[in-house]
């Protein structure tokens, strides 16, 4: 049993009686007040601010918060498990419970064991919790581990509270960074074949963690990749390198006793390997709502701001609380990282999730508003709406 929830429901019932008697107006939001422990335990076991919350409505009905509190306290004092209910100050109600209440709670705890406090399935439905989602370009670092623990604990709490949580990892396996990974792994492959590669060129990943990938490529292909053009070996090496990095990441997560139920691929969204182009579908869906246009962005005041001074395909994210509209297609015709993220979140919505939680690193703080704007746009009919997506920077 949850004593606070129990007495919350009892106070709701008493307020409903006051409404029925005409002492309070109809249509009150009965979720506005709380039942919680008093600040000073000497004042009792429970405290509620219900009378204070509805003071304005009580005054409109010719009463006061204090008078409403006294009536509620009198009704609560008559409850069989209440030893005393008193009004304090302008209208707070302090409640002292009989000892039998705690005996009943202890019996419930012993009978329920580890299930004590769990909630029945919530009508709000399942939650999608995306966490870790480290780029597959190397081992995880401590920041990723922090997000992993936070996200997994949150998912477990949601499960316990009756909101089934799907644990999801988004693999950023498209874009320039995985091509750099492939070129770095190919260099280690040449090294494994006995070639002296010298210092790792600037712009490639220098870590020794890619040496096993080079050895594995040598074992699988021998010298078969060495003299082929990059266009031939890049897709092959890229896939092997990404798979190897994800194996490292999964091993690290397993050491924390963390597993994900879904691993979503960014590359699969872009349609480059013959799959449907989910990014284009997401852009078209926003275009159908009048949220995509061709235009120019104001150049940043400081150099290096990343905005191209050209006409671009833009998403009207300012209509959903963002501070600037966002480009979706680069000058070379490829999708921006944000465009792929929009498509990815659309797949979550299409799968029936009404609540989305993204656990990101601290360096993603500036990304929250634009992602909330995108989710709001995908799930709402018109600008001005706010996203149901709860984003957290761990």
Q: What is the mean pLDDT of residues 307-333?
A: 90
Closest CA to 151 of 175, 134, 172: 134
pLDDT of residue 76: 97
Q: What is the mean pLDDT of residues 95-107?
A: 94
Number of helical (H) and strand (E) elements in the chain, helices listed first? 13, 12
Residue 93, beta-bridge partner list: 48, 87
Closest CA to 51 of 30, 66, 36, 61: 66
Q: Residue 323 in contact with residue 297, Cβ under 8 Å?
A: no
Closest CA to 386 of 335, 320, 331: 320
Instruction: Examine the pLDDT at 165 and tell me if it is beyond 80.
Output: yes
pLDDT of residue 389: 47
Q: What is the mean pLDDT of residues 78-94?
A: 95
Rounded Cα gap, residues 208 and 7, in angstroms: 61
CA-based torsion, 185, 189, 192, 198: positive or negative:
negative
pLDDT of residue 125: 86
By DSSP bridging, strand 127-130 and strand 355-360 are parallel
Q: What is the mean pLDDT of residues 56-68?
A: 91
User: Reduced to 3 states, what is the DSSP secondary structure of residue 216?
Assistant: helix
300: pLDDT confidence band, cut at 50, 70 and 90?
low
β-sheet with 35-36: strand ranges across = 35-36, 46-48, 92-97, 82-88
Rounded Cα gap, residues 82 and 85, in angstroms: 7
pLDDT of residue 380: 74
Give the number of other Cβ atoms within 10 Å of residue 341's Cβ: 23
pLDDT of residue 388: 46
pLDDT of residue 45: 96
119: pLDDT confidence band, cut at 50, 70 and 90?
confident
> Mean pLDDT for the chain?
92
Rounded Cα gap, residues 95 and 92, in angstroms: 10
Domain ranges in the chain are 3-101, 127-174+258-393, 176-233
Rounded to the nearest angstrom, the gap between the alpha carbon of residue 32 and the centroid of all alpha carbons in its chain is 26
Phi/psi of residue 292, each to 5°? Answer: -120, 135
**pLDDT tens figures, 32-55:** 999 999 989 999 999 999 999 999
pLDDT of residue 392: 45
Domain 127-174+258-393 in CATH 3.40.50.620? The answer is: yes
Closest CA to 30 of 47, 48, 43, 44: 48
Q: What is the mean pLDDT of residues 109-136?
A: 91
| Residue entry with tokens 């609380």 | 321
Rounded Cα gap, residues 186 and 214, in angstroms: 7
> What pTM, to 2 d.p., does this model score?
0.78
Token pair belonging to 46: 């429970």
CATH number of 3-101: 3.30.1360.70
Residue 327, beta-bridge partner list: 314
Rounded to the nearest angstrom, the gap between the alpha carbon of residue 160 and the centroid of all alpha carbons in its chain is 17
Q: Residue 164 in contact with residue 126, Cβ under 8 Å?
A: yes
Phi/psi of residue 370, each to 5°? Answer: -70, -35
Rounded Cα gap, residues 84 and 43, in angstroms: 11
Rounded Cα gap, residues 316 and 373, in angstroms: 9
Instruction: Examine the pLDDT at 344 and tell me if it is beyond 60.
Output: yes
Q: Residue 38 in contact with residue 28, Cβ under 8 Å?
A: no
By DSSP bridging, strand 326-327 and strand 355-360 are unpaired
Please name the residues in contact with 121: beta carbons below 8 A apart, sequence gap of 6 or more.
162, 164
CA-based torsion, 188, 190, 194, 197: positive or negative:
negative
Continuous segment of H or E residues that includes residue 326:
strand 326-327
Give the burial string for 244-279 (b: 16+ CB within 10 Å, else e). bbbebbeebbeeeebebeeebbbbbbbbeeeeeebb
Token pair belonging to 307: 């905005």
């Amino acid at each position: 049993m949850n004593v606070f929830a129990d007495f919350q429901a009892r106070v709701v019932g008493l307020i409903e009686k006051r409404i029925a008697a005409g002492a309070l107006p109809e249509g009150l939001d009965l979720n506005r007040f709380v039942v919680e422990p008093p600040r000073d335990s000497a004042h009792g076991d429970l405290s509620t601010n219900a009378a204070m919350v509805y003071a304005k409505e009580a005054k409109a009905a010719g009463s006061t918060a204090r008078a409403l509190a006294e009536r509620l306290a009198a009704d609560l004092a008559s409850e069989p498990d209440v030893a005393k209910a008193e009004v304090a100050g302008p209208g707070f109600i302090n409640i002292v419970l009989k000892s039998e209440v705690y005996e009943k709670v202890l019996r419930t705890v012993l009978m329920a064991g580890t299930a004590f406090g769990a909630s029945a399935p919530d009508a709000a439905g399942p939650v999608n919790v995306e966490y870790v989602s480290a780029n597959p370009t190397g081992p995880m670092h401590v920041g990723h581990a922090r997000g992993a623990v936070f996200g997994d604990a949150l998912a477990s709490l949601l499960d316990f509270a009756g909101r089934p949580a799907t644990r999801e990892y988004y693999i950023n396996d498209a874009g320039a960074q995985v091509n750099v990974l492939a070129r770095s792994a190919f260099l280690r492959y040449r090294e494994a074949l006995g070639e002296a590669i010298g210092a790792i060129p600037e712009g490639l990943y220098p870590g020794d963690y890619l040496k096993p990938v080079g050895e594995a490529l040598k074992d699988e292909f021998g010298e078969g990749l060495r003299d082929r053009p990059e266009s031939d070996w890049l897709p092959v090496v890229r896939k092997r390198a990404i798979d190897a990095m994800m194996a490292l990441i999964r091993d690290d997560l397993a050491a924390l006793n963390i597993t994900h139920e879904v691993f979503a691929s960014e590359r699969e969204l872009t349609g480059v390997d013959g799959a449907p182009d989910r990014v284009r579908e997401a852009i078209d869906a926003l275009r159908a709502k009048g949220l995509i246009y061709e235009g120019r962005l104001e150049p940043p005041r400081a150099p290096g701001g990343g905005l191209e001074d050209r006409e671009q395909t833009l998403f009207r994210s300012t209509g959903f609380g963002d501070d600037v509209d966002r480009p979706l297609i680069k000058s070379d015709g490829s999708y921006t990282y944000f465009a792929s993220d929009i498509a990815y979140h659309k797949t979550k919505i299409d799968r029936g999730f009404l609540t989305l939680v993204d656990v990101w690193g601290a360096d993603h703080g500036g990304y929250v508003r634009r992602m909330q704007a995108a989710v709001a746009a995908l799930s709402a009919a018109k600008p001005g709406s706010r996203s149901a997506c709860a984003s957290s920077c761990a």
